[in-house]
């Protein structure tokens, strides 16, 4: 076997092993998709596997600042037919101010062009508030007499290389908790944050 082919095979096996660990450890899985080609960086087979294992799946379309706003909204509508879907723009990592950002409401992106322009120019994360609210809802369970109580959940973040998984985590944590980079493969093993 060619040494490059052998190394590639070992690398794929290592990634598959790490992915399996993330899926097994998580209650909710966030699949991060690149807004420039959401369908091209999805793994429907993996989504079905996650559902079969009783996991909740949430799609996050990241890098919405790189496509026209109407494209993001149309993708969100399409993807919501299968799973909950959030539009997201990670904060710019070189900025000192890592804040929770702004919520995106249904009519906002199609009807308020000046707000969209301002939102896309900011260094703050967009969509963090909506994503955290969905995760809080997943953490609520039926309680005995008082209605719903909260439980701790483990959230796994998965996706193709360079879709912005670590940037999404950093935006939610409001700190540089996960290393990021322009080259694929900065994060090679499961990290607990």
Domain CATH for 84: 3.40.50
Classify 157 as helix, strand or coil.
strand
Per-residue model confidence (pLDDT) at position 33: 97
pLDDT in tens, 105-141: 444 444 555 555 555 555 567 888 899 899 999 888 7
DSSP 8-state assignment for residue 40: G
Q: Is residue 32 part of a domain?
A: yes
For residue 183, being part of any structural domain is answered with no
Residue 126 lies in a domain: yes
When computed from its CA atoms, the radius of gyration of the chain, rounded to whole angstroms, is: 18
Domain span at 74? 11-173
Neighbouring CB atoms inside 10 A of 118's CB total 11
For residue 181, what pLDDT is reported?
53
Phi then psi for residue 103, to 5 deg, are -80, 145
- Residue 176's pLDDT is 64
Into how many domains does the chain fold? Answer: 1
How far is Cα 83 from Cα 110, in angstroms, rounded to an integer? 22
Instruction: Give the span between the Cα atoms of 49 and 39, in whole angstroms.
Output: 17
**Residue-level pLDDT at 92:** 63
Tokens of 90: 């990670």
Q: Residue 166: inside a domain, yes or no?
A: yes
What pLDDT score was predicted for residue 91? 75
Instruction: Quick: pLDDT tens for 145-163.
Output: 556 677 889 999 999 988 9
Q: Are 58 and 31 in contact (CB under 8 A)?
A: yes
The answer to whether residue 26 sits within a structural domain is yes
Q: What does the pLDDT read at residue 113? A: 56
Positions in the chain short of pLDDT 50? 94-110, 144
Q: pTM, whole model, 2 decimals?
A: 0.72
Q: Which two tokens stand for residue 19?
A: 């992915």
- Strands of 155-158's sheet in order across: 85-87, 56-62, 28-34, 155-158
Burial of 76 from C-beta contacts in 10 A (0-12 / 13-18 / 19+):
buried
In a domain, 137, yes or no: yes
Of 160, 172, 171, nearest to 37 by C-alpha is 160
Separation between Cα atoms, residue 126 and residue 102, nearest integer Å: 5
* Domain membership flag for residue 185: no
Evaluate whether residue 1 is within a structural domain: no
């Amino acid at each position: 076997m060619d040494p490059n082919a052998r190394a590639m095979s070992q690398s794929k096996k290592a990634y598959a092993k790490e992915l399996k660990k993330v899926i097994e450890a998580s209650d909710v899985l966030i699949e991060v998709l690149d807004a420039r080609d959401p369908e091209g960086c999805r793994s429907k087979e993996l989504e079905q596997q996650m559902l079969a294992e009783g996991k909740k799946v949430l799609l996050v379309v990241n890098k919405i600042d790189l496509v026209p706003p109407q494209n993001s909204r149309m993708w969100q509508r399409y993807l919501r037919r299968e799973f909950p879907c959030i539009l997201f723009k990670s904060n710019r990592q070189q900025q000192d101010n890592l804040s929770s950002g702004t919520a995106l409401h249904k009519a906002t992106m199609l009807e308020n062009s000046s707000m969209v322009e301002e939102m896309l120019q900011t260094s703050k994360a967009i969509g963090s508030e909506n994503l955290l609210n969905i995760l809080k809802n997943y953490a609520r369970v039926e309680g005995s007499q008082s209605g719903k109580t909260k439980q701790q959940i483990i959230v796994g973040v998965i996706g193709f290389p360079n879709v912005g998984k670590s940037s999404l985590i950093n935006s939610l944590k409001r700190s540089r908790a996960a290393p990021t980079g322009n080259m694929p493969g900065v994060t090679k093993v499961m990290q607990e944050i």
